[in-house]
Chain A
């Protein structure tokens, strides 16, 4: 049953790994602004739209 020692140790080490990741994220300023990224992630899809529209229009104009 000494496997418990091993398992608990591993789980603690994994937890510490995540904890270090968190500290680094804070240090690089990822927690300074918690609003803008939530808006930014929605933008990429919108970028394509105008091009499609424009090509439609151009084709209409050439008619």
Chain B
């Protein structure tokens, strides 16, 4: 046997699946190789690994795997040459490279197994994981192995790739690395200039130093040129743009300071007045770029700009007139085409159902988890997910004209959100720049009557020393740090601007379904006499015949009883006689000689106290009442507490696309004064937010499904709640992992504190500026003083904001 004893005992204690770590349901437990698995899928993955000597997959991380999903037919479009060629990054006779996005990548075990793919499949030569981007880049021989085989292999080991329209036609995209280059150049110049400047700092009168002074200075000048012209170029562009739009931002005094510093230093060297400020100049550029880098680096792998493209599959099965099936790219689907939609497939276009019946889950669009039954001839809308059998449909509109895609043509999605707000640094620099210029000219005006030379020196010294590098660094470092802290707690922000907006929020609007309730299907619980395996089998078989959404959910939920009956496995499917479905009540059936009734409390003649909070299904077999399955419309944990905490500082509103059925429960649950609005269509939600904004409110919208997409885009801050951060979330400003929902108040507080931190450090940096200015205005700014004050202020500010924001983060 190949098991490590220590690991084994751990598995036994917790009864978690050895592969995926989920709780094992007793009935389904599979013991293989002395390890416990929750299902056959997990066992199979383990088998594949152990056959191929890859079991140290389980050594790096405990239970790293995921249960492989059934993907039968889902990737048939990979047979289509033209689609495949658009997915490939590179292709030649015997070599091809594809880069696949795999959302499940989360630990070192994942990296290990995915980089050892060549041991599982012939034809793959290398595979390389990019962990932050959750992508794997596979080099393979297309003559030996097809992409489809690779995708199936990945899916079979629980790493199903995520291929969507977004990938289509992207090919190899160019990465913008200019900031890295700029930073490299800036650091190169800064470091060398610092070394060469040392002799100047000591100002000793020594023969040889005097001898080489000119050489050193000109070398420093030469080294400063790339930093000045290339690394700092972003600041000149930004300053120019801000002057053009007449909005004074922080980059104007920065660019002004840099340019003045460069001109004066060059002048000093040429006229042999001194060594200039090239050391401070390059140091400043380097530190500011570092701050920028720090702010950008945080969460580049999460996409916040998802539109419908990322939700849709690339291809769909089309049924030709001769009844042959063919995979076609979604954009090629035309009106009148007949499409085949399999279980769990997304309906890409609006159409009419041809098959007799379909169960469509619109949770994508509406957030509502319970599937809707459609009959033949009914209209089905894009965005729904087929559950159950294979269905056929006829296309009514092409992709670009479908209802769902039209939502995206709304104006809010076209607007450039970045321009909506003025950042805190920019609003301060609105005052800073004029005051700075005033002081500079005042100093110049005073000294011009005494000594023209000093006047020129004072003027430039003021602009140099006041160059708000510390001011400019405050925000990037504080926000960068806060972004990182929030990210660790699974609250991912699109950019630093969102923190400022979070701090300004005064009204919070929640979506109901999927946001304050969970979508998880495991909310079914059972109360009553324990059902024996035989009874369970009866119930399950009766449920199978029913198409009621609740029956379907219950059917999926119930385990398959393992019966050692005479006829073996065949006994699992029993013939149902006299099946009858009574609308609004329940179902009753004769099965295997038993009378089974499943339905509402009245239906099974069970009298009990009315409890509105429950949707339940009661079970009665052969006139004996057994118990009920309760479908909890489960609210997220800590909801009451969260609302209680939020209500003192914010106005809270709840929007719902559902009817008013839940009103009384919500009113009990949520604090008084919470406005509840029901029956809201996506456009109405958007309007609602707009109205609030017109009343001068800063609105934060918390939502989940595509139906909230418009409202999320319209709001000042749109937060999307996601059960799986890596897969589906509409375009938004922030993504919050559903498990951290109750921390929302803490996050809001933290962003407020971040702004306070910034204000405090602004004060600090202004203090430095006053000290530096007093040197400058009296005409005493020596290069050495500048070389000390500038880095000192930078370092103290950076450490101050880092310490402060971390301190606030710990303060819950």
Residues of A within 8 A of B (CB): 1, 4-5, 8, 12, 15, 19, 22-23, 26-27, 29, 31-36, 39-40, 42-43, 46-47, 49-51, 53-54, 57
Contact = CB atoms under 8 A, between A and B. Distances in A.
A5 B216 CA distance: 10
19 contacts: A4-B208, A4-B212, A5-B215, A8-B215, A12-B219, A23-B181, A26-B181, A27-B177, A29-B175, A31-B177, A33-B133, A36-B129, A36-B130, A39-B108, A39-B131, A46-B60, A47-B56, A50-B55, A53-B2
A29 B128 CA distance: 13
A50 B131 contact: no
B208 A35 contact: no
A57 B212 CA distance: 74
B162 interface: no
A29 B694 CA distance: 47
B111 A36 contact: yes
A8 B219 contact: yes
B192 A50 contact: no
Nearest to A36: B131
Interface in B204-221: 208, 211-212, 215, 219
Contact of A33 (B56, B130, B181, B192): B130
A32 B188 CA distance: 20
A43 B175 contact: no
B602 interface: no
A57 B219 CA distance: 69
B184 A35 contact: no
A33 B131 contact: yes
Contacts of A43: 111-112, 115
Contacts of B272: none
A26 B55 contact: no
Interface in B152-181: 175, 177, 180-181
Given A31-B180, A33-B130, 19 more contacts: A4-B208, A4-B212, A8-B196, A8-B215, A12-B219, A19-B185, A22-B188, A23-B181, A23-B184, A26-B177, A31-B177, A36-B130, A39-B131, A40-B115, A43-B111, A43-B115, A47-B56, A50-B53, A57-B1
A38 to B, nearest CB: 9
A62 to B, nearest CB: 15
A57 B180 contact: no
A47 B55 CA distance: 10
B638 interface: no
Contacts of A29: 175
A16 B69 CA distance: 53
A54 B53 contact: yes
Interface in B80-121: 108, 111-112, 115
Contact of B188 (A19, A27, A40, A51): A19
B70 interface: no
B132 interface: yes
B111 A26 contact: no
B683 interface: no
Contacts of B129: 36, 40
A23 to B, nearest CB: 7
Contacts of A5: 215
Interface in B739-767: none
B527 interface: no
Nearest to A61: B1
B2 A54 contact: yes
Contacts of B131: 33, 35-36, 39
B500 to A, nearest CB: 28
A46 B184 contact: no
A40 B131 CA distance: 11
B59 interface: yes
B190 to A, nearest CB: 12
Most chain B beta-carbon neighbours within 10 Å: one of A5, A47, A50: A50
Contacts of A23: 181, 184
Given A40-B111, A43-B112, A46-B59, A15 B181 contact: no
A59 to B, nearest CB: 13
A23 B188 CA distance: 11
What 9 pairs across the A-B complex have the smallest Cβ distances?
A: A36-B131, A33-B130, A35-B131, A39-B108, A19-B188, A26-B180, A46-B56, A50-B53, A22-B184
